[in-house]
Structure 1
């Protein structure tokens, strides 16, 4: 029988379906949906072009692969009649193209609304409304694509049922709302792991497939013509759909590969020296990127130590340098471009290293020949450049990036925690615990950093509401630690307990206020303890204020001359001796007895505060010392004064009786006292940095054995910084030891003023003959224009003596008498 007689025009051929193609159509939709969810998960939130491109890619993945491809693969499962080629479904190319483009546009609008909901800190009603709009638009895109694609059928008149249209659209909208609601909820709480994203993709695929087959079940096909061309034309859309599906699979594999690469980089970064920024808002939440990680930058793979016991810690001069510079970025900020050029030219810095991710290629460790020419200067330049890169990524000023935390944190410890069981098999012990238990037997302390793989320097700050909103609009988010503890602990390779303690210390440090006494007379203790292996001295300070000595107020006002004379009677006596002398001097006069009793009471309060037996053997100094002055808003100097009990503990006695006290390296404590706001040492410190680094940059150009042509070809960036300055004899300090002075240099060249007149944010004007070498035997001309606070200073000017310096002099003088 001829097929025209079997299927006359206007007839409705029978319909049956191919089950395997139905299943394949769902798999196609699942692939597109999973690709969409992965792209959404890895997108950058914000208003920049990159965010819009990523949202467009998500829209193309969902609209073109998950919906369009599924539609035509699913329709290929529909077999009309007995499968004759002339009466199967064929499509108009115009309708087919439009049906592919229109859902992409609608979904892009929905994703744009959801993106604003996702990154905005708005009320719940607004966020729920935005989520509902996203789900409705996505469901509408699925529905309109199906019916618009069916309208492109060339040889059939499709007649859908309104009941099935409403049911199919409802399935699409509800499933889309549920899936995107789950995605944004889990993503907002950093619980969006791959299994949860797979669940979201499955629900999205159900939305597309469920709508498609519900609509197909309610559609009748009325024949209006016969196909006269080759039968293979019905497979064109199927072939296109398969190709697009394979492309989506490739994207998924690429995303998985990038994820694994990123995880390896995170583990690798945890073994490097890394600079991170911990920014807290008013609610105590911490700033993280979309992956739940701190903004960070690798400084170098490893801090090169000259000797085995040359630990990079708070007692290290390099750490103290960066600690000071983080409190006065204005003293170095104009040198950072030159530092970057210098690092590029010397091969210590890679141009294309990432800013916010694990820049594992930045600053590879130098060899022994590099250490001999000044590794400490190289490390300090790497630190400044890394901080500047993070500031640019946060779109903030370097001066507002924060202050360096007062310790070097250890990361990567989780990699070496090998579990063992004790002899009874009841308790797990890890390698880090063994390190804490055993420690350094001779020194009597543990050294857990030996088991750590990396070191973390953290800049901390607390921001107001306006700044926190700006950072969130830039694509970052503030989160409670409970929300991001898992990804953050994995990236740092530390346990969650260690992470909680670390972040708690950072937040306390960020919120700590300088407790400098405003006025009055105080008693203080200055107790020193020789550090392990006799590498220096430590000072006992309060745990909650390591930048201050423990103090107790004696009087609120100044002392009368008679009272100063009374205190002079106690000079050189131990604390116990002072108590005896108070009893001996009692009965002089009623006024003196009141003062002596107040002195006795203050000593007892100091004993309660410090609670160290060594304090009773400490020697009293009647020399009245000014506490570090602080300038108020009215520019009135605060000049509270102290009298101190000075002493040195026994070498082997490192225990502390009070949990409220701790040891701090004396050199670091002195560094604390040079970093308060308005300190005049900032300007002198900036002057030294300019002189040192200008000498390094100049010496590098002159010492490079290349012609000018080769120089411009190999180091074009450095050539743009230094233009053949006329120089006198230049000698660079070898700086082979990181314990040597950070600003010692031999003789310095005369720097061209045109190359140094970039806008310096601080301002000391040095325009006189100055001596550079420490022995003051050599000199040369050096001009540095506008380096700080409008004043004049020479290199001979020294940083002011801190109270700790004066107390150290007193302590050594007392100790020398014994």
Structure 2
């Protein structure tokens, strides 16, 4: 006998709830919410498939799992008519599908409107949060409309309350999330907290609305296309399992990246520092700078402390300001390094080790450019200082380094490393492209804390490095065209070598002032010749005497020169300037070209030279001492310097042998050797001819000095490596002329009291 239904059409069904499904519905909503916020946290811009995939994924996870899945799991907890199976909720397939896609579309629009700017707009986030809350409400009531066997009866106060809860909680969750994200304070536990609130918005709205909803039974005839509650549970659980699997894989990848970064900072690494036009710093979504390992075997490569005085650092400093000189031969360097046995590096000659280290630097730079998806020449210039990283960020790295510490810094030991930086300012178009590849630009103040943690260094140390790089990236530190008067001063270094006096804010320039005279005139030459060989103190007295006894245009020149010399002494009021010797021979220096041709933009400087007493340590605020070798390299690295061309040819000449030995590997032939000898013995090129074809730098013979764009260079003739040819071919290495600083240094050391 068939049991008669207890509920008739048109009657309100009795309802109660299963607690287990209520808890499960909240768990489903939480899984979708935490996935959504994690995907939104990884977004870096509005362009590129990377960001679009994250945007679409976040909308799908929130709409399909956190809202749609929660709704139908929650409705599974509703027990109608005392559990009679035929009187439980059944859904229309069409409306169920529509309720799945509609919130996704609404949320996609909301997240697009919020954007990814680091400067959070509360208005935009609030509008987006309101839209997200309305998406929850829309999905709920559209899903309710899809119930096939019941008509939903709503209580208005509960409807209003559910809408308020959905909008308010969504706004709170998203505002807290995006504000924390913009300040790089959105750690995992904060995202978990925001996910609880966001899931509470969905669940709170659903259950308040559910309590205020009654169900009136319709006709017993049901549509053919329906889904029972068991089928909906299977679909939702499948989506949740898939999401949990993706989150677990994502957590494993993040953990691996974090461990990789800890390993990197214990080695010698190269990091890219990119600023956008607004001064914001580029970092990855994990809060680190793009970084590549150079080597972890620095002990075996170098015979002295790796600092900015090291020949390899000076070489790389110049290369980074003229990448065109090496970009075509980096592949050769990579081939060469593949043939190197790292374990036997200690047995090689030091010159060979320096060459290997230079190759490692260039290869790391190439890998860094590939990581950024930028050409090699766009990764920037090398920063003039090295950051010593440590596994203990609280170590006192600011303490002065004593003699006993020098040996400690010469080695990269466990837990310590060195980081070199390349830096530049990118255009807005480049910044947008980098954001599309998964990088974020945020304020330096906020980014410093995050990057300092990733490098495990003190915040103050990193702040100073970033400030210097930011200043250097905005405008090149170079003289303006015109006439200058400067002071060239050197001091012996107690650790060996010499230091040169430079401007603190522009360390590639000596202290100087510019005359308000555009070009060197005959009258100005007369004034300068009058002061030739005088000390600075005597020069001021002579200028004052001559100014009182001279009239006309000569007097104006005397006044300008006297004012410039006095300005120099006022800007840097150090005692040693009074004994500085003046030279009337002007030095032509690189200068800013502006809108004129480089050949017509010149800067000429008249110099007072002196030696700073070794015991004098206190200097004026605007000056400091810098290693002389590094200062000399800086004089060749200006953007307008013609030494770049000579330097590029030197690099190609030096590495040309590697090109033949490691890049041009002969392909195996399927023709036997004897047959090849029979057919091609008469027309086969000689070894020297083959070398010339394969290596265009091999057989260059020059017997005299060559004028390269008016920059004289002497030539040193070297025999060609016997591994590359058996003939008497020779190669030529161009030797750069000494810089003005080297000339003045030798003059200062040999005849300190003569002009």
> Aligned partners of 2:5, 2:590: CA distance in 1, in Å?
107
Q: Aligned pair in 2 of structure 1 residues 66, 347: CA closer, same or farther (>3 Å)? A: farther
What is the TM-score normalised by the length of structure 1? 0.74
**Cα drift, residue 804 of structure 1:** 0.5
Q: Aligned pair in 2 of structure 1 residues 441, 210: CA closer, same or farther (>3 Å)? A: closer
> Aligned partners of 2:392, 2:462: CA distance in 1, in Å?
11
CA contact (8 A) 1:299 1:386 kept: yes
Match of 2:505 among 544, 547, 561: 544
Q: Does 1:314 align with 2:255?
A: no
Matches within 5 A, 1:278-427: 278-301=273-296, 303-304=298-299, 306=301, 310-343=304-337, 345-346=338-339, 367-368=345-346, 374-392=352-370, 394=372, 396-412=374-390, 414-415=392-393, 417=395
Matches within 5 A, 1:243-642: 243-301=238-296, 303-304=298-299, 306=301, 310-343=304-337, 345-346=338-339, 367-368=345-346, 374-392=352-370, 394=372, 396-412=374-390, 414-415=392-393, 417=395, 431-432=396-397, 435-436=399-400, 439-440=402-403, 453-465=416-428, 467-468=430-431, 471-472=434-435, 476-520=439-483, 522=485, 524-534=486-496, 536-552=497-513, 556=517, 557-558=520-521, 563=527, 566-568=530-532, 570=534, 578=538, 605-616=567-578, 618-621=580-583, 623-628=585-590, 631=593, 633-634=596-597, 635-642=599-606
Q: Which residue of 1 aligns with 2:708?
A: none
Q: Which residue of 2 aligns with 1:161?
A: 154
Q: Aligned pair in 2 of structure 1 residues 203, 300: CA closer, same or farther (>3 Å)? A: same
Q: Deviations over 1:763-800 (max 9, x none)?
A: xx9984259999735258999xxxxxxxxxx9354323
Q: Which residue of 1 aligns with 2:233?
A: 238
> Aligned partners of 2:576, 2:653: CA distance in 1, in Å?
44
31-40 vs 375-384, which deviates more?
Answer: 375-384
**Cα drift, residue 546 of structure 1:** 1.4
Q: Deviations over 1:83-127 (max 9, x none)?
A: 3445444567x45xx736752464255235524632368995983
Q: Deviations over 1:6-57 (max 9, x none)?
A: 4456554422112233223212221222222222223454433333333343
683-692 vs 35-44, which deviates more?
Answer: 35-44
Q: Deviations over 1:420-474 (max 9, x none)?
A: xxxxxxxxxxx435x42x622699x997998982323223333455555555566
Residue 334 of structure 1 aligns to a residue whose secondary structure is coil
Q: Which residue of 2 aligns with 1:425?
A: none
Q: Aligned pair in 2 of structure 1 residues 371, 174: CA closer, same or farther (>3 Å)? A: farther
Q: Does 1:107 align with 2:85?
A: no
CA RMSD, Structure 1 to Structure 2 (Å): 4.7
381-390 vs 525-534, which deviates more?
Answer: 381-390
> Aligned partners of 2:555, 2:66: CA distance in 1, in Å?
91
Q: Does 1:118 align with 2:115?
A: yes
Matches within 5 A, 1:701-716: 708=668
Unaligned runs of 5+ in 1: 349-363, 418-430, 711-723, 730-748, 757-764, 784-793
Q: Which residue of 1 aligns with 2:643?
A: 681
Match of 1:655 among 605, 613, 617: 617
Q: Deviations over 1:300-328 (max 9, x none)?
A: 345446556x2222111222222212222
Residue 752 of structure 1 aligns to a residue whose secondary structure is helix
**Cα drift, residue 613 of structure 1:** 4.3
Q: Aligned pair in 2 of structure 1 residues 470, 660: CA closer, same or farther (>3 Å)? A: same
CA contact (8 A) 1:725 1:752 kept: no
Q: Deviations over 1:42-85 (max 9, x none)?
A: 34544333333333433343233323432333233222334344
What is the TM-score normalised by the length of structure 2? 0.79
> Aligned partners of 1:776, 1:215: CA distance in 2, in Å?
91
Q: State the aligned residue count.
A: 712
Residue 397 of structure 2 aligns to a residue whose secondary structure is helix
CA contact (8 A) 1:295 1:390 kept: yes
Q: Deviations over 1:525-572 (max 9, x none)?
A: 3222233432x22111111121122234689444657556544454xx
Match of 1:695 among 625, 646, 657: 657
Match of 2:736 among 784, 793, 799: 799
CA contact (8 A) 1:159 1:220 kept: yes
CA contact (8 A) 1:627 1:642 kept: no
Residue 4 of structure 1 aligns to a residue whose secondary structure is coil
> Aligned partners of 1:655, 1:181: CA distance in 2, in Å?
54
> Aligned partners of 2:376, 2:240: CA distance in 1, in Å?
46
Unaligned runs of 5+ in 2: 671-683, 705-713, 725-730
CA contact (8 A) 2:483 2:604 kept: yes
CA contact (8 A) 1:528 1:539 kept: yes
> Aligned partners of 1:336, 1:448: CA distance in 2, in Å?
27
Q: Aligned pair in 2 of structure 1 residues 776, 654: CA closer, same or farther (>3 Å)? A: farther
Q: Aligned pair in 2 of structure 1 residues 501, 341: CA closer, same or farther (>3 Å)? A: same
